[in-house]
Amino acid sequence: MERLIYVMKRLFARRIVLIAALTLLLIVALAIFFPFISGVDPNEISVLQRLKAPSAEHWAGTDELGRDLTMRIVWGGRYSIMIGIVTALFSVIAGTALGLLAGFFRRLDGPIMRVIDAMMSFPDILLGISLVSILGASLWNVVLALTIVYTPRVARVVRASTLVIRELLFVDAARALGVSTPRILYAHILPNLLSPVLVQFTFIFAYAILAEAGLSFLGVGVPPEVPTWGTMIASSLQYADMAFWTIVFPGIAIILTALSLQIVGDGVRDMLDPKLRKSA
Amino acid sequence: MFRFIMARLGGTVAVLILVAVMVFALTRLASGDPIAVLLGDQASAEDIAQVRVQYGLDKPLLTQFGYWVKEVLQGNLGQSIFLQRPVTQALAERTEPTFFLALFAVTIAALIGIPCGLIAAVWRGRFVDQVFSAVAMLGASIPSFWMGLILIQVFAVGLGWFPASGYGNPGVSLAERLHHLVLPATVLGVLNSALIIRFTRASVLDILNEDYVRTARSKGLSERVVILKHVLKNALVPIVTVVGLTLALMIGGAVVTETVFNLPGVGNLVVRAVLRRDYPVIQGALLVIAGIYVLINLVIDLIYMLVDPRIRV
């Protein structure tokens, strides 16, 4: 606990990181709790209120079915954030496993890394749309496709860190003491990978939200009836000329979330790597 | 040296083979039957079976793969199911907009990224550094289609300075083409400059700590000469690499931007192919795009080996 407080203090020493973390917390809390507290139905259709510009009553205006956009954005945030978190979590688990194996066992290094190289030679979005089109457009298939896209990135980072940690003295010492290989991996190497993996988690969280929006825009993302920030923009596209707010505000929600995530990730990295520290 | 180059080449061949396997597997794992889509609801089971034979889709997967690789090595990427022409031809027709867009965008990205990164590194920790770093992160947080839609609203619909979409009628002048590319290239260039800012900053910071920079300063050279002649020149090799990789990525990665601006490029071709399950086009485009990326990577590595002996160790 004391250590956690110490880490927090150092992480939030830069005010911008603190602001980003609070913004993030607010967005996540709103997405989780707001729909329960407000009692307003985000799917309530009101034909008379179609495509109304932002006003005191509807802060962000209304969409093509007369639904309040502020509510829709908060509601859609649940799905966008969920896609981001789950994708980041899966990518981190799969990528850590692959990177750990490649970095620790020399024999596996070549084969695993060639596969990773091959996967990374496809541009992210291109691989994403191809995978979604094959798997079929559903919420979980988008998560699966994005996980496949981002796993190699984690694997590369984890492998590089494992290569360094493997050569450190405490690993030799553990082996000399007769500690088994699985235990060395689990108890000695894995904990030291925590920080680079954490950084990757925040970045993939952000990229996944952006990628989901991109896929929805292209028409190969989650089905339109799932209200993510991406599908909201995609479904309002044809009204862009007369009701521009339907596109602007969900976009701002995406940017704010992705930016906060990246600032926090950057802050974590700065804290861990003294070489990169801004005040150096 | 020779052994290293051979090892690197071997690795590249392995990656290319894996890329081919992945591309093939990807399109064959798909659920929908492209022939059924192609022939529509009216087609009978016999019709579908007959066309399947025509496209070789009735053979075992391994046979199909072997056949496909043999054809690819002869430069034949197959026949598009929907466009009624060879995939190579379809790709070739779409290359020009994508290539010009990538070149235009990378120029913008470099013109923003290199000076900003240099300034951020020289005044590291100061206010400008913080601002540029924040801007770089902002660039990486904006969805490209969203920025495209905003620019279209402001500069095409609102002000009318640039066309909102397309690549002009066939046969219009190069200047007219470039005019169509201004907005999409701005989107791609501005958003991709983020990576170049970060990279330039990092590599300039590395060089600033070198002994010869201290020597140059103690010789009494002006700070401007030190930065431009000693630091930037040496930092340029990794920077040029990242610019080259950005270009390589844009050739295949401008999918979203091409779609927003309705540019008839390679990315647009792939999106349409994906929506229509036109397997040969998806296969061909993915293979060519990934192949180009792998080869550019190889060339960069080889140049590094020649230029910097430390990498050979």
Helix (H) or strand (E) holding B10: helix B2-28
Q: Is the pTM of this model over 0.80?
A: yes
- The span from the CA of A125 to the CA of B257, in Å, is 11
How large is the average pLDDT for residues B207-231?
A: 79
Instruction: Say if residue A42's pLDDT is above 70.
Output: no
Residue B22 to residue A133, Cβ atoms within 8 A: no
Both B196 and B265 in a single domain?
Answer: yes
For chain B, the domain total comes to: 2
> Could you tell me if B27 and B56 lie in one domain?
yes
Res. A89 pLDDT band, cuts 50 70 90: very high
**Residue B137, class by beta-carbon neighbours within 10 Å (0-12 exposed, 13-18 middle, 19+ buried)?**
buried
Q: For residue B267, which residues of chain A lie inside 8 Å, CB to CB?
A: 126
Say yes or no: B50 and B99 in one domain: no
Is B31 found in the same domain as B102?
no
Q: Which residues pair with A62 in a beta bridge?
A: A68
Residue B60, domain member (yes or no): yes
pLDDT in tens, B111-168: 998 889 888 888 887 888 888 888 888 888 998 888 888 888 888 777 877 777 777 6
| pLDDT for the residue numbered A195 | 83
Average confidence (pLDDT) over A116-135: 87
Q: Does A86 or B239 have the greater pLDDT score?
A: A86
- Residues A262 and A202 sit within 8 Å (Cβ to Cβ): yes
Measured distance CA(B155)–CA(B157) in Å, rounded? 6
Q: What is the pLDDT of residues B18-77, one digit of tens each?
A: 998 888 888 777 655 666 666 666 667 777 777 777 766 777 778 888 887 888 888 777
Across the A:B interface, residue pairs with CB atoms under 8 Å apart total: 144
Asked if B110 and B201 sit in the same domain, the reply is yes
Residue A62: closest CA among A232, A216, A217, A231: A232
Do B297 and B305 touch, CB atoms closer than 8 A? no
Kindly state whether residues B156 and B258 are assigned to the same domain.
yes
- Establish if B84 belongs to a structural domain: no
Say yes or no: B123 contacts chain A, CB-CB below 8 A.
no
d(CA B254, CA B129): 29
Give the confidence band of A95 by pLDDT, cuts at 50, 70, 90: very high
Cβ within 8 Å of residue A264, ≥6 positions away: A17, A20, A21, A24, A202
In a domain, B78, yes or no: no
How near does any CA of chain B get to the CA of A112, in Å? 11
Determine the pLDDT at residue B311: 58
Backbone angles phi, psi at B8, to 5 degrees: -65, -40
**Chain A residue nearest residue B156, CA to CA:** A241
Boundary of a domain, candidates B40, B73, B106: B73
Residue of B nearest to A130 (CA): B274
Q: What's the mean pLDDT in B193-218?
A: 82
Rounded Cα gap, residues B69 and B81, in angstroms: 18
Torsion sign, CA atoms B206, B211, B212, B214: positive
Chain A residue at shortest CA distance from B8: A114
Q: No. of H helices and E strands in chain B?
A: 14, 0
**Chain B interface disruption, residue of A121, A261, A263, most B CBs within 10 A:** A121
Single residue among B73, B102, B132 that ends a domain in this structure: B73
**Residue B294 belongs to a domain:** yes
Residue at B83 is within a domain: no
- What confidence score (pLDDT) does residue A30 get? 82
Query: Domain check: are B155 and B255 in the same one?
Result: yes
- pLDDT beyond 70 at A51: no
Instruction: Give me the residues of B, 174-233, that contact A with CB < 8 A.
Output: 202
Mean pLDDT for A131-153 is: 90
Query: Does A280 contact B124 at a Cβ distance shorter than 8 Å?
Result: yes
Last residue of a domain, one of B73, B108, B131: B73
Task: Supply angle C-alpha A228, A232, A233, rounded to 5.
Answer: 120
Chain B nearest-CA residue for A243: B153
Q: Is the ipTM of this complex over 0.90?
A: no
Whether residue A204 contacts residue A128, with contact meaning beta carbons closer than 8 Å, is answered with no
Q: What is the pLDDT of residue A208?
A: 93
- CATH at residue B132: 1.10.3720.10
User: B125 and B69, same structural domain?
Assistant: no
- Higher pLDDT among residues B225 and B142, named by residue: B142
pLDDT at B308 over 70: no
End-to-end C-alpha distance for chain B, whole angstroms: 9
DSSP string, B33-81: -HHHHHH-TT--HHHHHHHHHHTTTTS-HHHHHHHHHHHHHTT---B-T
Residues in chain A, how many?
A: 280
Judging contacts by C-beta atoms under 8 Å, the chain A residues touching residue B130 are: 16, 278
Examine residue B51 and state whether it is found in any structural domain, yes or no: yes
**Are B63 and B154 members of one domain?**
no
Which pLDDT tens digit goes with each residue over A190-247?
888 888 898 899 999 999 999 998 888 888 888 887 888 888 888 877 777 777 777 8
pLDDT of residue B313: 46
B62 and B136 within one domain? no
**B41 and B104 share one domain:** no
Output the CA angle A113-A118-A123, nearest 5 degrees.
125
Domain that holds residue B58: 2-73
Length of chain B: 313
**Confidence category of residue A56, pLDDT binned at 50, 70, 90:** low
- Asked whether residue B40 falls in the same domain as residue B93, the answer is no
With CA atoms as reference, report the closest residue to B270 among B284, B291, B249, B290: B284
Sorting pLDDT into bands at 50, 70 and 90, what band is A96? very high
Q: What does the mean pLDDT of chain B come to?
A: 80
Confirm whether B81 is domain-assigned: no
Return the pLDDT at A46.
67
The predicted model gives B263-277 an average pLDDT of 84
**Phi, psi for residue B78 in degrees, rounded to 5:** 95, -175
Report yes or no on B149 lying in a domain.
Answer: yes
Is A189 within 8 Å of A99 (Cβ atoms)?
A: no
Residue A276: predicted pLDDT: 46
Query: Which one of B13, B15, B26 makes the best mutation probe of the A interface by having the most chain A beta carbons within 10 Å?
Result: B15
Model pLDDT for residues B254-267, shown as the tens digit of each residue: 888 888 888 888 88
In this prediction, residue A278 carries a pLDDT of 43
What's the pLDDT score for residue B253? Answer: 65
